Structure 1
Amino acid sequence: MATENALLTILVEKINNDTLVLPTLPAIALKVRRAADDPNINLNAMADVLGQDPSLCARMIKISNSAYLGRAVKVTSTAQAVTRIGLRQIKNISTALAMEQLFVSKNDVVKAYMEKAWADTIEVVASSLAVLQTHIKHTKNRSLSLESMMLAALINNIGILPILTEAERHSEVFANPTFLEVAIQKLSGKIGSSIMKEWGFEPEFIEVAAHFNDMSVQTEAVSYLDLVRIGAAVCGRLDKHKDEVLEAAVKKGIVADVTDLLSDDFIELRENAKQIFA
């Protein structure tokens, strides 16, 4: 217990002193986000920015040709992919694809935790995207976008990264799954909110990172927070709150019935979404 409290004490002290080292977005994601925010950017210029990272280009083309976008005509170049996806969507998709670079570690315990966290996150992303597509089909409400949904689901647990980094620095003491779970449960929301603010993300993303695990926080309108929670509940990430979340989904009109989240159509949508990160 003393060791567990020591890890929490160190983290809380660094949070309060504003000395906790927060992760930075991968360079290519920063470049794309800055380019997308430039009012004078055009599709060809954005394709040039993406061209600085061949791996990201390849994945953008893959997404353009995926069932996720539902297009039959294949694209073969970055410029075609940017045209198909659009400048606004490129910003969030490129950030989402670059996120995997953050989940790395040289410590065996922390590395295993990060790999599991990333795999779990992909399950949440795929389920959340399927939930949004199901919601759109049910309500015709397109106020929430698939691209922002993807990014919101990806950052739901972003607050774990500084916790794991701190554990790695003191691996002989803190790189213990039990200690990590307690620290993550108590602090990941607050840290996640700080990361989103540091990265300059919009309020809807800050809301997800800050309150994903806090069921006392609810939104009046249908939100990304709602859909990320539903996606997490569907794939077993919120077992303690699963019934509560799914009942709220029906009550709020997000889906017509819980069985909509078990249908063959839903499963197909979820599997298509997983291919984005395959």
Structure 2
Amino acid sequence: MQHRSEPIIARRPRYGQWAGGAVLAVFAAWVVYQLVTNAGFQWGIVAHYMLNREVIAGLQTTCLLTVLVMVIGIVVGLVLAVLKLPGAGVLSLAADLYIWFFRGTPVLVQLVFWYNLASLFPQISLGIPFGGPKFFSVSSTLAISSFTAALLGLGLNEGAYMAEIIRAGLLSVPPGQSEAAKALGYRRLQTLRWVVLPQAMRAILPPTGNQVIGMLKYSSLASIVALPELMESVENIYSRTFETIPLLIVASLWYLVLTTVLSAGQRVIERRYGERLA
């Protein structure tokens, strides 16, 4: 019995890949050479300031701000996403307007607005509107600190983006799941809590992890309202010492460390959650 031999396909030399690899190798060697030989990097100063008390305090503020902003963003986003589901009526329009406004205006403008809220509303009051009695009142200058302005500006803005992420996750669940839960006597909120949301988490977790990492870096915008987070702390130091490049390297290294940790945590959470739903 004769066996038909398979045709031999000759592979063409991949000159383009070889050339690209050579260019990349030369560029990598140049980068390493600059890092080692260029005195402008001042690695001794970088090492000196990595654990500086002011830098660490700014790092802690950055981490705290990121966590609180994401909590606000997820809570606001979940409410907005539910309101945008079919059957919400006029509340769906309110959610659309919220998302339209906060996604359509720069977050930097929102931060500055909240920080200067006292010029528009000198007093923040709780009571009956349109000239009615006030039960509680406080000065806006006291109520809206740098941290509060950053928290409101970043948190409310993040809520608009999280709303679309969560809504997309909820819509990824087949409608039959909700219908089956309704047939079993589940109420609307019970169906959302016990049936739809757990299944939607598979689609919600990856982009939410990306938002957390992005927010860690966006928190540097809070320096515009004089919040002593990591970037502001670094700027304060090099404004005194004029060691700009080493201090910027310090901030970059800390951001890289935090994003690496968050990325690793995101992968672990996604893998474990995927195993639970498998």
| Greater helix content | 2
Specify the structure having the higher radius of gyration (Cα).
2
Assess same fold via TM > 0.5: no
Task: Place the TM-score, normalised by the shorter chain, in its bin.
Answer: under 0.3
- With normalisation by structure 2, the TM-score equals 0.25
